[in-house]
Amino acid sequence: MLKGGKVGLRARHEDDIPVLRAELYDDPVNGSRAEARPWRPITPGTKDPRLVVDDTVDSVVPFSVVDLDSGELVGTATLWGIDPHHRSAHIGLGLLPSSRGKGYGTDVVAVLCHYGFVVRGLQRLQIETLADNHAMLRAAENNGFVREGVLRSSAWVLGEFLDEVILGLLVQEWKDRA
């Protein structure tokens, strides 16, 4: 398990799946805001890659996020789009509604940075988020990510176009903060 100050990132367990399905992926609003595709319900027992991990895919590393004190599941975290040639990847996370606003997001991003830069030897990490996702913007910027641009009206979310913010962090910037 990878550990931060508040959270641990561990492999997905079978008993995580019903909780993640019910609290993150069966919610049309959350699902529409978190995914780059239209929300659709997940059939029970499906092998949906957001829930069931395929360890043979090297470009995506999904984690379950747990509270270090209680061991309770608080969300998911993913390093995705891992490009070994350019040594870059993207960060994604989703916290259960009851776990939001407790500082977990900033800690999850920190642990994913450690994993990406130290364990995987990457040069660059990137985050894309909706411009009104203030919690994710704060978590990224608290970890040294720099706003690199805005993709205007690029995300179709529940009947309207929203802007997306691109943030990046280079390994040397991360090291300089340590």
Distance between CA atoms of residues 94 and 74, nearest Å: 9
pLDDT in tens, the chain (178 residues): 999 999 999 999 989 988 988 888 888 888 888 887 788 888 777 777 777 777 888 999 999 999 999 999 999 999 999 999 999 999 999 999 999 999 999 999 999 999 999 999 999 999 999 999 999 999 999 999 999 999 999 999 999 999 999 999 999 999 999 8
- The answer to whether the beta carbons of residues 121 and 153 sit under 8 Å apart is no
- The answer to whether the beta carbons of residues 105 and 129 sit under 8 Å apart is no
**Residue 56: per-residue pLDDT:** 83
